[in-house]
């Protein structure tokens, strides 16, 4: 079987194939030549290039790869071409088995516009939207994952939202069609997993709640959706089966709804496996990929699905900085390990590089337990104690979200992060972490580098932690290192035990270059003397992430007058577009960004000189 995808989902499908004795074929871009999914497959075929449009979105190349490798089946995973009817037809026309629904079903439901009409609904006409009809949501007709979506609260922002959503959708899915629908402010995102065979049986496999989202992309999902009345659950299941039967659906799929004021509002049907499918697998004791394969082989489902047991919660671990606009992060993932008792689905292993070309998700961590409270506690504890060494991640945000009173009481909705992001992303680092890092660092160096001839001479080290600079002072004595107010019980290069206020605490320390990882806290070691060349001019616009300049505002040139908040430059990183705006009203005194330019974090894009008052 060839998997027409990459990363975590490719590895997950390969795992089931190995259990079933099915040999596997991976496809990989040049950027993914050493990616985990390319390494674990039995065969790997190169797709020349790096951008999705020239690699994973090239159905013709993928079909060629399947034929050349001797594969006889293709699994699309999710994203990329998974909901592309033309690709499904090309696979079937090539004599290969398509592990998915019929192309006609994909065609009917893959466009959210056609899906709504099939369910008796219709999108808004963008030209007829008025201030009274706001807010509205601009949404990509194809694909998913929150790409190509924009909330519009002011009518004057609608044209720009349509343009940027089209560009992002075209880049992610190869289809720039978008539409407009009313935006429901305080709804819950609830979905029903379905599984259908070729013999007319459709299983509605319970509900999932996916309300915790950033940029309309799900972050935490759970099954079953908590707090729904039995009548509403039955209505959701019936609507999901109706949608599946309307298009003679076959295989695994998901029907999505917004639930508000006890009413279900149909959103779309995803004709593929969802990222969050593991929570349904855990609750029903199923392997949905294995079931997809069985259905494709013509096997019939039983009349009824297995009974649901317990509760499962999944958290998506991203390489991103929630406190700074969810900016994606890149670099080396030195270590990724979670405690036993939870499920880890990932496309990375220790030492892999997180690049700029694809989604920023590192892994999915899933906990299953008899009750929701137990599953929450288990998942939060596992994330908190996980070893994640490398670029910044959303791990701390996930832990705080899972323990937030609104979430534990199941009172969340899709506006959860709009209300709580500041408090949840506010750094709460361990104040003793810098001292532990300094002591471990000193022990790991030679006597001539880390130890002084004069024992009483204070040692000074500087770190940044959660965006703030911390200076650490300690002394070496004949009895060992000491610091004010803290007793050093033990210190070596990897383990430090400190006692403060009668409480003894253990710190595990790992260092990779300038980055120091102390328990769940990440620090960056600073040079003893700051580099004066690192200063930037006031008004400098620096790239917040690595990526590609995809657009510069039309007509923008050096010397132009700009207004505070005016969009100037657009970057694309990890399949998302990010807008860089003028910080103040003034004059554009320098413009260095050009379309197509590859930039690293801190690259100077432009300088805006503030107008003097």
DSSP H helical segments within 21-138, as ranges?
Answer: 36-40, 59-69, 85-93, 103-110, 112-118
Closest by alpha carbon to 399, among 419, 436, 427?
A: 427
Contacts of 151-155 with CB under 8 Å at 24 or more apart are: 151/183, 152/183, 155/129, 155/130, 155/131
Which phi and psi angles does 368 have, rounded to 5°?
-125, 135
Strands across the sheet with 503-512, in order? 480-482, 468-477, 459-465, 521-526, 515-518, 503-512, 495-500, 487-491
Distance CA 355, CA 551 (A): 21
Closest by alpha carbon to 480, among 489, 471, 472, 467?
A: 489
Q: Is 272 a catalytic site residue?
A: yes
Cα three-residue angle 214-258-5, rounded to 5 degrees: 55
Strand intervals (E) in 159-272: 178-182, 188-196, 202-214, 217-223, 251-260, 263-270
Residues 6+ apart with CB under 8 A from 465: 427, 429, 433, 434, 521, 522, 523, 524
Of 12, 208, 214, 272, catalytic? 272
Closest by alpha carbon to 184, among 430, 388, 508, 413?
A: 413
DSSP H helical segments within 216-341, as ranges?
Answer: 230-246, 277-284, 288-296
Q: Per the omega criterion (within 30 degrees of 0), is the bond before 224 cis?
A: yes
Distance CA 595, CA 598 (A): 9
Other beta carbons within 10 Å of 467: 11
Distance CA 299, CA 66 (A): 24
Under 8 Å between Cβ of 385 and 398: no
Distance CA 202, CA 193 (A): 10
Between the CA of residue 255 and those of 282, 424, 604, what are the distances in Å? 19, 30, 44
Distance CA 331, CA 392 (A): 9
> Token pair 């004599």 is at which residue?
95
Instruction: List, in sequence order, every residue forming a beta bridge with 332; answer none if it has no partner.
Output: 353
Which phi and psi angles does 211 have, rounded to 5°?
-75, -30
Distance CA 278, CA 564 (A): 45
Distance CA 475, CA 452 (A): 9
> Token pair 């496996």 is at which residue?
273
Any idea which residues carry the catalytic annotation?
A: 272
């Amino acid at each position: 079987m060839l998997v027409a995808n990459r990363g975590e989902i490719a590895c997950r499908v390969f795992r089931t194939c190995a259990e079933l004795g099915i040999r596997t074929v991976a496809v990989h871009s040049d950027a993914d030549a050493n990616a985990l999914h390319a390494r674990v497959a039995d065969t790997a075929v190169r797709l020349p290039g790096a951008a999705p449009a020239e690699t994973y979105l090239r159905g013709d190349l993928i079909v060629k790869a399947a034929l050349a490798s001797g594969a006889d089946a293709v699994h699309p995973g999710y994203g990329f071409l998974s909901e592309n009817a033309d690709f499904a037809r090309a696979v079937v026309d090539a004599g290969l088995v398509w592990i998915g629904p019929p192309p006609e079903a994909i065609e009917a439901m893959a466009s959210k516009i056609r899906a709504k009409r099939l369910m008796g609904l219709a999108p808004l006409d963008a030209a007829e939207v008025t201030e009274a009809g706001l807010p509205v949501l601009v949404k990509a007709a194809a694909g998913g994952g929150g790409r190509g979506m924009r909330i519009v609260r002011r009518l004057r922002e609608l044209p720009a939202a349509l343009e940027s959503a089209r560009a992002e959708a075209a880049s992610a899915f190869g289809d720039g069609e978008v539409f407009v629908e009313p935006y429901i402010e305080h709804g819950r995102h609830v979905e029903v997993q379905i599984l259908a065979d070729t013999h007319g049986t459709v299983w509605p496999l319970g509900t999932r709640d996916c309300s915790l989202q950033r940029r309309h992309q799900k972050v935490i999902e759970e099954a079953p959706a908590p707090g729904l009345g039995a009548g509403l659950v039955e209505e959701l299941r019936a609507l999901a089966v109706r949608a599946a039967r309307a298009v003679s659906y076959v295989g695994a799929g998901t029907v999505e709804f917004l639930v508000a004021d006890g009413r279900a509002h149909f959103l779309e049907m995803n004709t593929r496996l969802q990222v969050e499918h593991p929570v349904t697998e855990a609750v029903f004791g199923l392997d949905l990929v294995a079931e997809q394969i069985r259905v494709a082989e013509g096997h019939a489902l039983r009349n009824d699905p297995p009974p649901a047991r317990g509760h499962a919660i999944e958290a998506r671990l991203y390489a991103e900085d929630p406190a700074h606009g969810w900016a994606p992060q890149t670099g080396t993932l030195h270590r990724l390990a979670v405690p036993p008792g939870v499920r880890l689905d990932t496309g990375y292993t220790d030492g892999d590089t997180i690049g700029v070309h694809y989604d920023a998700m590192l892994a999915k961590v899933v906990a299953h337990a008899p009750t929701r409270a137990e599953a929450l506690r288990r998942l939060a504890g596992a994330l908190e104690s996980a070893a994640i060494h490398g670029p910044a991640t959303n791990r701390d945000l996930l832990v705080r979200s899972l323990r937030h009173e609104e979430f534990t009481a199941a009172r969340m909705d899709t506006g959860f992060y709009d209300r709580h992001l500041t408090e949840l992303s506010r750094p709460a680092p361990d104040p003793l972490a810098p001292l532990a890092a300094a002591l471990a660092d000193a022990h790991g160096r030679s006597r001539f580098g880390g130890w002084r001839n004069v024992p009483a001479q204070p040692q000074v080290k500087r770190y940044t932690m959660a965006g703030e600079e911390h200076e650490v002072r300690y002394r070496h004595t004949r009895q060992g290192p000491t610091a004010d107010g803290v007793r050093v019980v033990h210190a070596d290069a990897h383990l430090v035990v400190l006692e403060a206020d009668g409480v003894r605490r253990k710190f595990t320390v790992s260092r990779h270059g300038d980055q120091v990882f102390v328990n769940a806290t990440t620090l960056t070691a600073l040079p003893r003397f700051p580099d004066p060349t690192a200063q930037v001019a006031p008004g400098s616009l620096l790239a917040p992430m690595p990526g590609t300049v995809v657009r510069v505002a039309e007509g923008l040139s050096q010397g132009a007058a700009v207004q505070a908040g005016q969009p100037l430059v657009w970057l694309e990183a990890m399949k998302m577009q990010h807008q860089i705006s003028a910080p103040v009203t003034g004059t554009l005194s320098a413009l260095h960004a050009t379309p197509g330019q590859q930039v690293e974090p801190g690259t100077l894009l432009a300088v805006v000189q503030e107008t003097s008052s």
